[in-house]
Amino acid sequence: MDSAELHGSSWIMTRPADRSRPWAESLEALGAVVHCDPVLELTPNLESTNWLPIKTAQLMVFSSATSVRHFFTTVPTSFTDSWKAGAPQFAAVGKATAEAISENGHLVSYLGPGTGAEDLVSVILKGATVSSAVHITSDAGLALIQEGLNQGGIPCGRVEVSTANLVPDLEIASWKRLRSRWSGIIYSSPATVDGVLGQSGDLLEWIRSIPGIAVGSRTGAAMESGGIRHRYVADSADIKGLHGACVSSISAGNMGDELND
């Protein structure tokens, strides 16, 4: 990646806190300024989790350390007790997620590079020795892993162990106090788009005027329906795709302003 392309650009990252740091660091390494302000926070889903898909799945796929923690603190022991005769394999999107799995006493058979869901799917498909899987995620999690594995010939279910809630007292006004113009806002899911637009108040049109970077076509569609005027959809849900979408925004002249006094 050419650092000159993003040097001096400025971005708002709306991802949940535990997932935003790797992406922010990748952009900062290229000279960008990244303001992380999560729109959603994840809490354990204690009421409506459908655990049945994990009964027969040979591979448990985790895309965040938060999902790992919520899974092992809420899953009924009747399901995990059955693993003693033959535990399923585990897949992790990156090192932090893998460490969380290890802390709960399980080995990671498939380790992604920490650059996104699509790269993890590629790792699994290249070395797969399983015939079924389940993605452990939140109710706001994208379907990229489930769709990718299904398309690759591994039937994959989904279990939602976390519930995404709006971060209370999100101060969108502070974004404008920092800079009157930004290179873009990075949205990681339709829920983050809705969360930002729904809490913008009098700054709604200002938010709509800031270029939106979408991870996934559904997020892009949410930006369009929400009235965000300049939209750039990443080609893939990883750092490379994010970088490309940010460069596209910069190429259109969306460099942003200097920091406000």
How many other C-beta atoms can be found within 10 angstroms of the C-beta atom of residue 181?
Answer: 16
Residues contacting residue 223 through CB under 8 Å, at least 6 positions apart: 187, 193, 212, 214, 231
Q: What is the pLDDT of residues 94-105, one digit of tens each?
A: 888 999 999 999
Q: Which CATH class is domain 43-165?
A: alpha beta
Q: In Å, how far are 25, 31, 209, 256 from 223, measured between CA atoms?
A: 24, 26, 11, 19
Asked if 206 and 173 count as a contact pair (C-beta separation under 8 A), the reply is no
Q: What is the pLDDT of residues 39-95, one digit of tens each?
A: 988 899 988 788 989 888 999 999 989 999 999 999 998 888 777 666 899 999 988
Written as six digits, the tokens of 257 are 């302003």
pTM value is: 0.75
Where do the domains of the chain lie? 3-39+169-251, 43-165
Burial of 67 (0-12, 13-18, 19+ CB in 10 A): buried
Which of the four pLDDT bands, split at 50, 70 and 90, describes residue 261?
very low
pLDDT-wise least confident of 96-110, 185-199, 217-231, 245-259: 245-259
Q: In what order do the strands lie in the sheet with 212-214?
A: 33-36, 10-13, 184-187, 212-214, 231-233
Q: What is the pLDDT of residues 246-255, one digit of tens each?
A: 999 998 876 6
Q: What is the pLDDT of residues 121-157, one digit of tens each?
A: 999 999 888 999 999 999 888 888 999 999 999 999 9
CATH number for 3-39+169-251: choose from 3.40.50.10090, 3.40.630.20, 3.40.50.2300, 3.40.50.261.
3.40.50.10090
